Amino acid sequence: MSTATLDMPTKPKPRTDPTLAGRAAPAERVALDRLVFTGFMGSGKTSVGSIIADRLGWRFLDLDHEIELRHNRTVPQIFAESGEAHFRHLESATLASLLGQRHVVLALGGGAPEELGNRLLLEQTPHTAVVYLSAPFATLLDRCNEQAIDPAATARPNLADLTAAERRFHLRRTHYERIAAHTIDTSSLSLEETADAVLELLRAVDQ
């Protein structure tokens, strides 16, 4: 990997933590088939989504990771070799196919809700709750930069130009809020605390 790639803010790999499995609440406690996490880069969609999936005993799916598996190229490779528009096309097709599954927790990429078709699909998929993990831009950037020192993480092409990234952040917030049934302000929460807040919310909705 080149130095330039190592210096670029990155994202965590999807993880499964077997130690959390024992604390799983039965999946049938949640009157939903799918839980979808949205939010900007660095909001914790992948990490929190993995924790929640472990606790519910559901399958965790990371949209970026699924695109990479299906097309045998990393997200940065797709951006560099085929452009963002092509990535968005693959992203929409992959999202549509993943939403057919039940008992899944799905972490979207930060840009997926920019596409109208993706927003409509999420809104129209039954028994599906979207949770928006929010935080200020500076906090998100700090988190992305912290992840950047993890060589196992994947680089984020849309953080290469920070002015453009901040513009996207402001544009996307409305989309995140509109598609989400619940918003959690993660600014002062750890990943575990965020996961606790999500489960609390689901339990409250369930009652």
Residues that bind ligand S3P (CB under 6 A): 11, 41, 45-46, 64, 75, 109-111, 156-158
C-alpha 11/C-alpha 14 separation (Å) is 9
Pick 55 or 168: Cβ nearer ligand S3P: 168
- Residue number, nearest CB to ligand S3P: 109
Nearest CA-CA partner of 37 in 57, 60, 68, 71: 60
Least spacing, CB of residue 164 vs ligand S3P, in Å: 10
Of 14 and 57, CB closest to ligand S3P: 14
Q: 111 vs 184, which CB is nearer to ligand S3P?
A: 111
The distance of closest approach from Cβ of residue 115 to ligand S3P in the complex, given in angstroms and rounded to an integer, is 11
* Separation of alpha carbons 197 and 187, rounded Å: 13
- Give the whole-angstrom CA distance, residue 205 versus residue 199: 10
The helix or strand, by DSSP H or E, that contains position 137, with its residue range, turns out to be helix 137-147
Q: How far is CA 127 from CA 16, 32, 102, 192, in A?
A: 24, 5, 9, 25
Q: How far apart are CB 42 and ligand S3P at their closest, in Å?
A: 7
Q: Least distance in Å: CB of 109 to ligand S3P?
A: 2
Is 129 or 133 the residue whose CB approaches ligand S3P more closely? 133
Identity of the residue numbered 177: E
